[in-house]
Structure formats: C-alpha cells, structure tokens
Structure 1
Amino acid sequence: MSLESHLAELKRKHGELERELDDARLHPSVDEADIALLKRRKLAIKDEMEKLRAGWTRH
C-alpha cells in the first residue's frame, strides 16, 4: 500500500470515528467509557497520520 493510499484510508477511518462519536453523544444511553474509547481510537489514528506525514515531508 502506498503512503498516499494509507493516509487516505486513515482519513476515512478517522471520519467514521468522528461520525460514531457524534452519534454516541446524541444517545444518553451510551456509556462515557465507550465515548472515551472512541476518542482514544480517533486520536491514535490522528497520531499515526501525523507520523506518516512527518516522515513523508523529510524525504
């Protein structure tokens, strides 16, 4: 998988998690622990994208 396609896939996953978070926040039955897990997953993807971009710009 090329770097650009990998970044595109990460962006897609990041967007999906953002939508899941938005949906979860609208439902009072969703546990705060579940929301925290979604936030951590989203942040991990964002961190991975930033690392890839940083490595890419050095080349």
Structure 2
Amino acid sequence: MSAEDTAITVRRLTALKCEHRDLDAMIAQLALQPSLDELELKRLKKRKLQLKDAIALLESRLIPDLDA
C-alpha cells in the first residue's frame, strides 16, 4: 500500500469512527425518549454495525502483510 493510499484509508477510517461515535450518541438519546421509535432505533443500530464492520476492514488493511 502506497503512502497516499494509507493516508486516504486513515482519513476514511477517521470519518467512519466519527460517524460511529455520533450514531452511538444518537442511539443513546433516542433510547431515553418516552415516545421511542423502535423502527428508527433499529435502523440506527444496523447502520452502526455496518460502520463497525467497515472500520474493522479498513483497520485490517492498515496492518502490513508479513511473510510467513
């Protein structure tokens, strides 16, 4: 992976982590509301899991390949 590719991956990773953190806060806030919208909560949680998977994939790309 070139230095430019690494920089792009790190920027994308940072953006995804920020979105994941924001979703976590939104989910916590939504869960406190008395008129809980279960469908919206479910959608947010699903998006959060998708972000978690994307973050894990990008983090694995940043790990250098080692010859066995």
TM-score if structure 2 supplies the norm length?
A: 0.78
In structure 1, list runs of 5 or more residues that go unmatched: none
Cα distance in 1, alignment partners of residues 42 and 8 from structure 2: 31
Q: How far is the alpha carbon of 1:28 from its aligned partner?
A: 1.9
Secondary structure of the residue that 2:23 maps to in structure 1? helix
Larger radius of gyration: 2
Question: Which has the larger helix fraction?
Answer: 1
Q: What is the aligned-residue RMSD (CA, Å)?
A: 1.4
**Identical pairs, percent:** 31
Cα distance in 1, alignment partners of residues 10 and 54 from structure 2: 13
TM-score if structure 1 supplies the norm length?
A: 0.89
Size of the alignment, in residue pairs? Answer: 59
